[in-house]
Every structure is written in structure tokens, then in C-alpha cells.
């Protein structure tokens, strides 16, 4: 019929009307796959690939510099432990800042309601376990010197209850866990990379606390347990905030008992 578009009139190589070009579905599938991978750093991606051996090297340099700075402050100003803590944190914060300036791994900073549940549940469970292991479940409430006054809230409650968990989780469970997993994932596999990241971050966590004073065996084991639980949450969920909350709850639960002991005293 006049004006009708015949099959023979279709230019060679032009797609049929209503039929997608060859490879269209394949390309869209690959694009969708790339979008999905960017939502989770555990599956790779451009951002997390920038957390490489350089980030890991800077992280350990930051730990060393922080410990050295804290030691110097302890020698020069032994009566101001808060300053040595700040010196230690400065090394961790510098390394963390270097990592996040380079890139922000996909999904790491998201938060979900389940993160709150996991953090609260594991934090209280580990504190109860610590009390049972140390025998403090049968002892009086812990307390501090009544002369501490308002300074205790500034020098102990704020650093140990909030600032410390935030700084340490960003360094140990964000930078160390994610970077070690990323660096090792392709060479040794996901399971071995995750196990190594968890053990190294928890071990360095204990060692760092050991530089602040002698640790009893049960204290070292509990610190390793807290570090391992936080690392496991990050590896299983791909998110950081559950680990931060776990650490906050673990520390604040003890400090709450101290406040009760101070009130009863």
C-alpha cells in the first residue's frame, strides 16, 4: 500500500520497529549491577578501592604517632590524663580523616533501625558478661572519689561515654576493618579477608588500650570481645553505626553504675 513502511525498505542495520537494539538488555543489566554494587562496599566499587595499602599504612602511622604523643604528654604533664587521651586520639582522627577524604565507601554510613537493636542488645549483653567474668555482679556498685565533682563529667563521662567510642569505632571498625577486607578480598577470598580484618582490628584495639595501663587477663579478653563484636556487626551489615552504638552502650552502662554508686555513697 502507498505510504506503508515495508520490511524491505528498512535501512540495513537499523533496528526493527518496537524491538530493542541487540545488547540493550545486557547493557541495562550490567548498569543495574553496577548500581547495586555501589550500594555496598563489601562488593567492591570505585570508592572503596581507594581505601588501599596507603590508607592502611597511614592508619598504622597514626596509631604509632598517637601512642608516642600520649607517652610524651604523660611524661611532661602526668597530672592531666585527658591531654594524653587527646594526643592519642589525634593520631586516630588524622588517619580516619585521610581515609574519608580519599573516598567514602558505599553504604558504610547508612543507619537502619536494626542497627539500633543490634548495638543496644550486644552492648548490654557484653556488659553483663563482663560483670559475670569479673565477679562484679556480686559486688557493690562501682564508685569514684567524691572529690571528683563536676570535673568527672567532663574528664570521664564525656570522653569515655561518647567521644571515645566514636573516635575508636571510626578508626578500628571503619578504617581498619574495611581497608583490610578490601585489600585482601580478591587475593584470599571474602571469608579469610573478613576473619583477618576482624582479628587484626580487635587485636590492635586491645593493644592500644594496653598502652594506657596494665590490663588483667579478663579485661583484655573482654576488650577483644567488644572489638570482635563491633567488627562482626560492620562485616555482617556493611554499616558502622551499630558498632558505634554497641561501644557507647557498653561504656555508658558501666558509667551509669558508677553514677549510682556515687549517689549511694
- Which pLDDT score is estimated for 257? 86
What does the pLDDT read at residue 137?
Answer: 66
CB-based contact 129:74 (threshold 8 Å): no
pLDDT at position 89 is 96
- The whole-number pLDDT of residue 150 equals 63
For residue 176, what are the CA distances in angstroms to 38, 57, 246? 20, 10, 18
In angstroms, the CA 263 to CA 265 distance is 5
The residue ranges of the chain whose pLDDT is under 70 are: 1-37, 137-138, 143-150, 265
Residue 1 has what pLDDT?
Answer: 47
CA proximity to 48, closest of 169, 168, 185: 185
What is the pTM for the complete model shown?
0.82
Amino acid at each position: 500500500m502507498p505510504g506503508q513502511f515495508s520490511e524491505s525498505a528498512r535501512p540495513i542495520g537499523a533496528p526493527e520497529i518496537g524491538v530493542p537494539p541487540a545488547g540493550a538488555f545486557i547493557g541495562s543489566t550490567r548498569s543495574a549491577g553496577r548500581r547495586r554494587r555501589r550500594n555496598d562496599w563489601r562488593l567492591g566499587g570505585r570508592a572503596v578501592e581507594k581505601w588501599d595499602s596507603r590508607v592502611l599504612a597511614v592508619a598504622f602511622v597514626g596509631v604509632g604517632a598517637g601512642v608516642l604523643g600520649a607517652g610524651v604528654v604523660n611524661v611532661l604533664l602526668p597530672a592531666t590524663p585527658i591531654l594524653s587521651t587527646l594526643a592519642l586520639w589525634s593520631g586516630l582522627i588524622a588517619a580516619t580523616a585521610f581515609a574519608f577524604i580519599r573516598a567514602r565507601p558505599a553504604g558504610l554510613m547508612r543507619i537502619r533501625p536494626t542497627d539500633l537493636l543490634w548495638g543496644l542488645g550486644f552492648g548490654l549483653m557484653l556488659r553483663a558478661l563482663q560483670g559475670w567474668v569479673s565477679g562484679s555482679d556480686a559486688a557493690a556498685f562501682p564508685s569514684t572519689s567524691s572529690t571528683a565533682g563536676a570535673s568527672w563529667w567532663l574528664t570521664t563521662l564525656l570522653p569515655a561515654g561518647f567521644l571515645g567510642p566514636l573516635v575508636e569505632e571510626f578508626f578500628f571498625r571503619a578504617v581498619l576493618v574495611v581497608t583490610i577486607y578490601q585489600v585482601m578480598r580478591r587475593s584470599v577470598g571474602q571469608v579469610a579477608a573478613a576473619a583477618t580484618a576482624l582479628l587484626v582490628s580487635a587485636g590492635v584495639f586491645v593493644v592500644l588500650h594496653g598502652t594506657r595501663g596494665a590490663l588483667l587477663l579478663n579485661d583484655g579478653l573482654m576488650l577483644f570481645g567488644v572489638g570482635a563484636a563491633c567488627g562482626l556487626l560492620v562485616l555482617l551489615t556493611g554499616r558502622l553505626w551499630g558498632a558505634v552504638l554497641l561501644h557507647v552502650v557498653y561504656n555508658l552502662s558501666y558509667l551509669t553504675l558508677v553514677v549510682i554508686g556515687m549517689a549511694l555513697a
